[in-house]
Amino acid sequence: MSIEQEIHGRFRNPYHKGLINLIYTAKQVSYEFMQSLKKHDMTDQQYNVLRVLRGYRDKGPQNIGFIKEHMLDKQSDMSRIIDRLYEKGMVSREENPEDRRQKLVEITDKGLKLLDEMFDCEKSSDRLLSNLSLEEIDQLNKLLDKVREK
């Protein structure tokens, strides 16, 4: 269904239509993904932190600045997210011996197990774009990269 039909709207020009279409689609896809995360009592930011820590696990514990650099949402309140994950037993924290103001964070076995259990969330996110061919996904990624160029 076209964006005009979805929101019953009209647009000033093709750029305006493209922006509204991008925002509307992103919100719709994001909502669907959030619903699958809720089943595991996770927010998208918490899920992102766990994935970052799992991806860099071989490099040892990471400081909050490192984690924030790798987040999708750079405006996240990392201390609060880490606190919540710590309370759930998903991450461990320790004082950085080189800078006592910094905490080093590492994913726990419980966090790793949860990510394994959450693989259905990743598969559901694949399904959100399954109506596109691999070539179209590649083109979409290139176009979105180009939009972010300044």
pLDDT exceeds 80 at position 121 = no
Residues 144 and 120: their CA atoms lie apart, in Å, by: 25
pLDDT digits (tens, 9 = 90+) for 51-107: 999 999 999 899 988 999 999 888 888 989 999 999 999 999 988 777 777 889 999
Q: Domain 41-117 belongs to what architecture?
A: Orthogonal Bundle (1.10)
- The DSSP bridge pattern shows strands 91-96 and 62-63 to be unpaired
Q: In the beta sheet, which residues pair with residue 107?
A: 91
Mean pLDDT of the chain, nearest integer: 90
Tokens of 129: 């774009």
* Residue 62: count of CB within 10 angstroms of its CB: 21
pLDDT exceeds 80 at position 18 = yes
Tokens of 111: 């966090």
Residues 38 and 120: their CA atoms lie apart, in Å, by: 12
Confidence label for 5 from pLDDT (cuts 50, 70 and 90) = confident
Could you state, in order of their start, the residue ranges of all structural domains in the chain? 1-40+118-150, 41-117
- The pTM score is 0.83
